[in-house]
Structure 1
């Protein structure tokens, strides 16, 4: 099993970020954290890289259920969703979401399986929505 669910878009980085935020919101996720890796690495290390944004997405209902099953699960929350330019393909943007099934594998808590499956379905839905409108303006 891989660590992420993903889709590749032929669009601008800004458009991909906008579509990702909107699709996550429609699936019931709020974005709690945002890390601009490009800006952070430039500021802290003087290093350049392509646009790379990490969004910490949380569905409050499922987060609550997961914490009630296994209190230490918070170290794996929220679900990270990455929007990043593909450095090898101009005008290609990759959107990747952590596969929630990892939480079950890492914790060995079968009680999280149903929750992880439901969250995976929502993230799959968001990625599908994002990919359906993969051209600028469309």
Structure 2
């Protein structure tokens, strides 16, 4: 199962991260949380060589629509978007909302997941 959409970036890690945050904002989403996993892991005394940042993003209007339909879908909110380094390259991607929402088993939520996924994929593509 392909659970994520990702693309290799032609930009640096820092540039990709900043462009991605701007693209998310430009597409009516907000960044609720930004977690630098490299810093968190190293802060606990473990070595971690690669930069890896998780952005938890949300569009309140779309989230409310989904939660009003089925509150348990909240287990999958907010959406996760990442930027990371691997083998001297930078990648940006999104955990696919369509894959997650299919686990809920409510077909009426699929259209919302498709909409969110299209928006976040567009943001990733514009950032790389």
Is the TM value for this pair above 0.5?
A: yes
Decide which of 109, 115, 120 is 1:123's aligned counterpart.
Answer: 120
User: What residue number does 2:24 align with?
Assistant: 24
How far apart are 1:111 and its partner, in Å?
A: 1.4
Q: For the residues of structure 2 that align with 1:39 and 1:106, how far apart are their CA atoms?
A: 32
3-state SS, counterpart of residue 49 of structure 1: coil
User: What residue number does 1:9 align with?
Assistant: 9
- What are the residue-to-residue correspondences of 1:1-138 with 2, within 5 Å? 1-86=1-86, 88=87, 90=88, 92-131=89-128
Q: For the residues of structure 1 that align with 2:49 and 2:73, how far apart are their CA atoms?
A: 32
Q: Which runs of 5+ in 1 are unaligned?
A: 132-138
The farther-off stretch of 121-130 and 94-103 is 121-130
Tell me the alpha carbon deviations over residues 85-125 of structure 1, each in whole angstroms, 9 at most, x when there is no partner.
12x1x2x2100101010232211111110100111111121
CA RMSD of aligned residues (A): 1.2
| TM-score, scaled relative to structure 1 | 0.87
3-state SS, counterpart of residue 107 of structure 1: coil
3-state SS, counterpart of residue 20 of structure 1: helix
Q: Which runs of 5+ in 2 are unaligned?
A: none
3-state SS, counterpart of residue 57 of structure 2: strand
- Conserved in 1, the CA contact under 8 Å of 2:102 and 2:110? no
Query: 4+ residue runs of structure 1 moved beyond 3 angstroms?
Result: none
Q: For the residues of structure 1 that align with 2:79 and 2:58, how far apart are their CA atoms?
A: 6
How far apart are 1:47 and its partner, in Å?
A: 2.4
- Conserved in 2, the CA contact under 8 Å of 1:103 and 1:112? no
| TM-score, scaled relative to structure 2 | 0.93
The count of aligned residue pairs is 128
